[in-house]
Chains A and B, each alone.
Chain A
Amino acid sequence: MEEVQTIQSLPAIEKNHGLDLLYQMMLIRRFEEKSAELYTKEKIRGFLHLYVGEEAVAVGVINTLSADDNILCTYREHGHALARGIDAGMIMAEMYGKQEGCSRGRGGSMHLFDAKRKFYGGNAIVGGHLAMSVGMALASKKQKKNNITVCFFGEGAAAEGEFHEAMNLAALWSVPVLFVCENNLYAMGTAIRYSHAVTEIEKKGPAYGIETVVVDGMDVLAVENAAGRAVEKIHATGKPYFIVCNTYRFRAHSMFDAELYRDKTEVEEWKKRDPIPKLQQQMLGENFISQNDIVIMSKKVEDEVQKAVDFAEAGTWEPAEELTKFVYSENG
Chain B
Amino acid sequence: MSENNIIKLTYREALKRGIREALQKDEKVFLMGEDVGRYGGAFAVSKGLLQEFGPERIMDVPLSESGFVGAGIGAALNGMRPIVEIMTVNFSLLAMDQIVNNAATLLHMSGGQINVPVVIRISCGIGRQLAAQHSHSWEPLYAHIPGLKVLSAGTHEDARGMLLTALQNRDPVIIFEYTFLLNKEEEISANAGAVDITKAKVRREGRDVSIITYGAGVYKALDAAKELIATGIDAEVIDLRVLRPLDEVTIFNSVKKTHRVLLVEEAWGSVNVSSEVSARIMENVFYELDAPVQRLGGVEVPIPYPKHLEDASIPQNADIVKKVKKMLQHD
A contact set with B: CB distance below 8 Å = 70, 99, 101-107, 111, 113-115, 120-123, 125, 128-140, 142-143, 145, 149, 161-162, 165-166, 168-169, 172, 325-329, 331-332
Contacts and interface: CB of A to CB of B under 8 A. Distances in A.
29 contacts: A70-B78, A105-B111, A106-B108, A106-B111, A107-B110, A114-B113, A115-B114, A125-B102, A128-B70, A131-B73, A134-B70, A135-B74, A135-B75, A139-B78, A139-B80, A140-B78, A142-B30, A142-B56, A143-B28, A145-B79, A165-B62, A165-B66, A169-B62, A169-B67, A169-B71, A326-B110, A327-B146, A328-B147, A332-B169
Contacts of B61: 169
A274 B249 CA distance: 63
Given A135-B77, A136-B75, A142-B56, A121 B110 contact: yes
Contacts of A329: 107, 115, 169-171
A103 B110 contact: yes
B215 interface: no
Given A135-B72, A329-B115, A106 B109 contact: yes
Contacts, number: 156
B109 A111 contact: yes
A131 B102 CA distance: 11
B232 interface: no
A128 B74 contact: no
A314 to B, nearest CB: 18
Nearest to A101: B111
Interface residues of B, number: 44
Q: Could you say which of A130, A135, A327, A331 has the most chain B C-beta atoms within 10 Å of its C-beta? A: A135
Q: Could you say which of A105, A113, A143, A327 has the most chain B C-beta atoms within 10 Å of its C-beta? A: A327
Contacts of B112: 104, 325-326
A332 B168 contact: yes
Nearest to B81: A139
A113 B79 contact: no
A103 B109 contact: yes
Q: Could you say which of A105, A125, A168, A328 has the most chain B C-beta atoms within 10 Å of its C-beta? A: A328
B67 A166 contact: yes
Nearest to B104: A327
A138 B98 contact: no
Contacts of A169: 61-62, 64, 67-68, 71
Q: Could you say which of B68, B78, B79, B107 has the most chain A C-beta atoms within 10 Å of its C-beta? A: B78
A143 to B, nearest CB: 6
A106 B107 CA distance: 10
B212 interface: no
A128 B101 contact: yes
Contact of B74 (A99, A122, A134): A134
B70 A162 contact: yes
A162 B110 contact: no
Nearest to A116: B113
